[in-house]
Structure 1
Amino acid sequence: MAIIPLNASPSQEITTTLSGAPCRIWLRQLSTGMYLDLWLNEQPLIMGAVCLTSVDLIRNPTSPLSGKLFFTDTQGNDDPYYTGVGNRFFLQYEVS
């Protein structure tokens, strides 16, 4: 399992490697929650997914990524909010 390093910022874009493939992640905090976009090899894979604690963001069984991408809350079961990202809320990738 890997923790994807994030900052406590209302909007951020990072590049990382998931299952050996280059990925770009854009996270943004809106009034209705935190949202994630994910590009795999510069092709959109997930657009506008609501980030909920312990819920897999990769819900498509035919996805080229075989793992699970999800947030964890180290202090309970709240959904992620940008001010807690990196110290309370962690984005994790678990290879299946």
Structure 2
Amino acid sequence: MQAIPLTPTSAQSLNVLLGGQNIGLVLRQRSTGLYADIALNGRPILAGVICQDRTLLVRSLYLGMKGDLVFVDLQGKQDPTYDGLGSRYALYWIEPGEVIP
């Protein structure tokens, strides 16, 4: 499991190397929640995925990503909001077979 550093801003994009894969993430806060766009090695694989506490974001092997991404509320069981990113809400990459914390 690897933590991905985030900042408490309402919209952000970042690129990270996870398990030898270049992952592009765009996070946006909307009135209905926090949403993610995910790219694998420069190719978009998901757009507009709702970010929820302890719920895998990718969930589909056919998309080609090894492992998955998951938000975890470190102080309870609330879905993430931008103002708690990097402190209350952590984003993790979990390897295949790992258990969500």
- The separation in 2 between residues aligned to 1:66 and 1:16, in whole angstroms, is 14
Is residue 2:57 matched to residue 1:38? no
Large movers: runs of 4+ above 3 Å: none
- Residue 37 of structure 1 aligns to a residue whose secondary structure is strand
Q: Residues 19 and 65 of structure 1 are in contact (CA less than 8 Å); yes or no, is this contact kept in structure 2?
A: no
Deviation at 1:22, TM superposition (A): 1.0
**Pairs aligned (count):** 96
TM-score (norm 2): 0.91
Structure 1: which 5+ residue stretches go unaligned?
none
TM-score (norm 1): 0.96
1:17 equivalent in structure 2: 17
Structure 2: which 5+ residue stretches go unaligned?
97-101
Aligned 1:42-81 pairs, distance under 5 A: 42-81=42-81
1:87 equivalent in structure 2: 87
Return the letter of the residue paired with 2:87: N
- Residue 61 of structure 2 aligns to a residue whose secondary structure is coil
Return the letter of the residue paired with 1:13: S
Cα RMSD (Å) of the superposition? 0.8
Identity over aligned residues, as a percent?
A: 36
- The separation in 1 between residues aligned to 2:23 and 2:84, in whole angstroms, is 23
